[in-house]
C-alpha cells in the first residue's frame, strides 16, 4: 500500500502542476487579442510546444500508472492473503508474533501520518487551484462583458457615424472588433462585412494590408481560442479527475484504516489464540518431559543391570581367553616338538631306507652268487653221488666215503653261510629269516643227501647245521641289540 500511495501522490503532484500551467494559459488567453498574439508569437511558442509534449507524456504515464495500479492492487491483495496465511501458520511462536505485530503497528501508524500529510497537502493544492480557476473564469467573464460593451459602443458609433467612422477605424479597433467577433460568433459575419465595406470604400493599399493582417490575426486568434478552450476543458477534466482521485485516496485511506482495525482485532485474536496454544503446548511439553524422565530413569536402571551382567560375562570370557591362549601356546609347543621329532624320524627313516636299499642290492648280488654256487654244488654232489654209487657197487674203501662226507660237509657249510648272509640281509624286514632257514633244513632233510649219506654223516651234518644256525642267530641279534 505504501508503494502505491507514493506513486499515487506523485501522480497527483504532476496533475497539480499541469493544472497550474492551464490556469496560467487561461490567464494569458484572458488578455486582449493583440497583446496575446504578440506575447504568443514572441515568448510562449516554444514553451507551449514543450508543454504539449509534457502533457502528452503525463497522459501516457497516467494511463500506464492506472494499469500498474490495477495490477499492483491485485498483487497486493494476493500478497496480503499470503501474508495472512503465513501469519496463521506462524501463530505458534508467540514472541516473534508479538514483535512482528508491534512492527506492523508502528509501520501502519507511520504510513498513516505520511498519508494524511500528503493528502492534506494535495487537498490544499486542489483548493488553491480551484480558487485560481474560479478567479481566471471570473476574469474571463469580465473581459467578455467588457468586449460586449465595447462592441455595443462600436456598433452604436457605427450606426451614428456611418461609413466614414468605419473607414477611419484603426488597427487596434479592428483587432478589438475581430476579438469581439471571435468571442461572439453571431456578430462575426457582421464585423467581417463592415471591414470589407471599409476596405471597399477606402482603396488605400495600407488599409488593404491592414485588412489582410487583421484577417490573419483573426484566424490565428480563433485557432488559439479553440485550442485554449480545448486545453481549458482538458484542464477541467484533469482537475475533476484529480478531485476524484483525491476522493478515491480518502476512500482508500478509510479502507486502510478499517483494514488496520480489522488486522489489529485479528492480531489480538491471534495473540490470544497463540497464548492459549502456547500454554497448552507448555503443558504437553511438561507432561512429555516428566514421562521422558521416568522412562529415562527406568532405562538407566536397566542399562546399569545389563552393564553389570556384561562386565561379568566379559571377565569370564577374558579368563576363558587366557586359558585358551595358554592351551594354544602349549599345543603349539607340542606341535613344534612333534614336528621336530617327525622330521628327525623322517631323516632316520630315509637313512635306514637308503642303507636297506644298499644292503638289499648287496644281498641280491650275494644271493645270485650263492645260487650259482648252489647249482655248482648240485652238479658236484650229483657227480659225487654217482661216484659213491659206483664205489658202493664196486666195494670201495672207507676213505672215499670219508672224502665224500667232507666234501658234502664243505658244500653244506658254503650253502649255510650263503643262507646266513641272505638271512642277515632280510633280518630288518622281520623274522622272515626263520622261514628261509627252515626251508634250507627241509631241503637238507628231504634232498638227495638224506638217502645217500649214512647215519653218521647225517649226525655230522646236523651238528654242523646247528652250529651254523647258532652263529648266524648271534650275528643277527647283535645289530638289533646295538
CA atoms within 13 A on the CB side of 73: 10
In this predicted structure, what is the pLDDT of residue 33?
Answer: 46
In this predicted structure, what is the pLDDT of residue 333?
Answer: 92
- CA dist., res. 232 & res. 226, Å (int): 10
pLDDT tens per residue across all 482 residues of the chain: 444 556 666 666 666 666 655 555 555 555 444 444 444 444 445 555 665 666 666 667 667 766 777 677 666 666 665 555 455 455 555 566 666 667 777 777 776 777 677 677 777 777 777 777 777 777 777 777 777 777 777 777 767 654 334 334 444 454 445 444 444 444 445 555 555 555 455 555 665 666 677 677 777 777 777 877 787 777 777 777 777 777 777 777 777 778 778 888 888 888 888 888 888 888 888 898 898 888 989 989 999 999 999 999 999 999 999 999 999 999 999 999 999 999 999 999 899 888 888 988 888 898 888 888 888 888 888 888 888 888 766 544 444 454 455 555 555 555 555 555 544 544 444 444 445 445 554 554 444 444 444 444 554 555 565 556 556 555 554 444 44
Phi, psi of 336 (to 5 degrees): -65, -45
In this predicted structure, what is the pLDDT of residue 322?
Answer: 92
Contact 185, 218 (CB under 8 A): no
In this predicted structure, what is the pLDDT of residue 321?
Answer: 92
Q: How far is CA 381 from the centre of its chain?
A: 116
Contact 375, 418 (CB under 8 A): no
Supply the pTM of this predicted model: 0.24
Contact 2, 76 (CB under 8 A): no
In this predicted structure, what is the pLDDT of residue 139?
Answer: 76
Q: From residue 149, give the alpha-carbon distance in Å to each of 103, 146, 157, 174.
A: 68, 5, 12, 15
Give 419-480 as a DSSP string.
HHHHHHHHGGG-THHHHHHHHHHHHHHHSHHHHHS-HHHHHHHHHHHHHHHHHHHHHHHHHH
- CA dist., res. 103 & res. 380, Å (int): 149
Alpha carbon dihedral 199, 204, 210, 211, in 10-degree steps, equals 20
Q: From residue 357, give the alpha-carbon distance in Å to each of 116, 360, 477.
A: 133, 5, 20
Residue 94 exposed, middle or buried by CB count within 10 Å (0-12, 13-18, 19+): middle
Alpha carbon dihedral 69, 70, 72, 77, in 10-degree steps, equals 130
- CA dist., res. 197 & res. 95, Å (int): 95
- CA dist., res. 433 & res. 418, Å (int): 12
List the alpha helices (DSSP H) in 162-204: 163-167, 171-183, 188-201
How many residues make up the chain in this entry? 482
Name the strand (E) or helix (H) holding 124: helix 94-161
- Give the domain ranges of the chain: 2-275, 370-481
Amino acid at each position: 500500500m505504501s508503494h502505491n500511495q507514493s506513486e499515487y501522490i506523485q501522480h497527483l503532484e504532476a496533475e497539480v502542476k499541469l493544472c497550474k500551467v492551464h490556469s496560467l494559459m487561461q490567464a494569458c488567453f484572458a488578455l486582449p487579442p493583440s497583446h496575446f498574439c504578440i506575447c504568443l508569437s514572441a515568448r510562449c511558442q516554444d514553451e507551449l510546444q514543450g508543454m504539449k509534449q509534457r502533457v502528452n507524456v503525463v497522459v501516457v504515464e497516467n494511463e500506464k500508472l492506472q494499469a500498474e495500479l490495477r495490477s499492483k492492487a491485485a498483487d497486493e491483495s494476493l500478497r496480503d492473503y499470503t501474508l495472512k496465511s503465513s501469519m496463521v501458520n506462524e501463530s505458534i511462536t508467540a514472541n516473534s508474533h508479538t514483535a512482528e505485530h508491534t512492527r506492523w503497528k508502528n509501520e501502519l501508524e507511520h504510513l498513516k501520518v505520511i498519508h494524511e500529510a500528503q493528502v492534506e497537502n494535495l487537498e490544499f493544492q486542489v483548493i488553491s487551484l480551484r480558487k485560481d480557476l474560479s478567479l481566471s473564469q471570473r476574469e474571463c467573464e469580465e473581459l467578455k462583458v467588457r468586449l460586449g460593451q465595447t462592441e455595443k459602443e462600436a456598433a452604436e458609433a457605427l450606426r451614428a457615424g456611418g461609413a466614414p467612422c468605419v473607414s477611419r477605424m484603426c488597427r487596434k479597433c479592428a483587432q478589438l472588433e475581430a476579438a469581439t467577433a471571435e468571442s461572439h460568433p453571431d456578430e462575426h459575419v457582421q464585423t467581417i462585412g463592415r471591414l470589407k465595406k471599409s476596405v471597399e470604400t477606402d482603396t488605400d493599399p495600407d488599409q488593404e494590408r491592414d485588412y489582410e493582417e487583421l484577417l490573419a490575426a483573426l484566424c490565428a486568434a480563433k485557432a488559439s481560442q479553440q485550442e485554449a478552450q480545448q486545453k481549458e476543458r482538458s484542464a477541467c477534466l484533469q482537475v475533476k479527475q484529480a478531485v476524484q482521485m483525491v476522493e478515491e485516496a480518502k476512500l482508500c485511506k478509510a479502507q486502510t484504516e478499517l483494514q488496520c482495525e480489522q488486522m489489529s482485532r485479528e492480531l489480538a485474536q491471534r495473540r490470544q489464540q497463540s497464548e492459549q496454544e502456547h500454554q497448552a503446548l507448555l503443558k504437553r511439553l511438561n507432561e512429555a518431559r516428566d514421562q521422558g524422565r521416568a522412562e529415562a530413569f527406568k532405562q538407566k536402571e536397566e542399562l546399569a543391570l545389563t552393564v553389570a551382567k556384561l562386565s561379568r560375562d566379559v571377565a569370564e570370557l577374558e579368563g576363558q581367553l587366557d586359558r585358551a591362549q595358554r592351551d594354544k601356546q602349549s599345543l603349539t609347543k607340542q606341535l613344534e616338538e612333534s614336528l621336530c621329532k617327525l622330521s628327525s624320524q623322517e631323516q632316520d627313516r630315509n637313512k635306514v631306507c637308503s642303507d636297506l636299499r644298499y644292503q638289499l642290492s648287496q644281498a641280491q648280488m650275494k644271493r645270485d652268487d650263492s645260487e650259482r654256487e648252489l647249482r655248482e654244488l648240485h652238479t658236484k654232489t650229483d657227480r659225487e653221488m654217482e661216484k659213491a654209487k659206483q664205489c658202493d657197487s664196486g666195494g670201495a674203501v672207507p676213505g672215499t666215503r670219508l672224502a665224500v662226507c667232507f666234501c658234502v660237509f664243505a658244500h653244506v657249510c658254503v650253502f649255510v653261510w650263503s643262507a646266513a648272509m641272505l638271512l642277515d640281509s632280510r633280518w630288518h624286514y622281520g623274522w622272515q629269516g626263520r622261514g628261509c632257514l627252515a626251508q634250507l633244513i627241509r631241503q637238507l632233510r628231504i634232498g638227495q643227501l638224506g638217502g645217500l649219506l649214512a647215519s653218521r654223516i647225517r649226525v655230522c651234518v646236523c651238528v654242523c647245521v646247528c652250529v651254523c644256525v647258532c652263529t648266524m642267530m648271534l650275528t643277527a641279534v647283535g645289530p638289533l641289540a646295538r
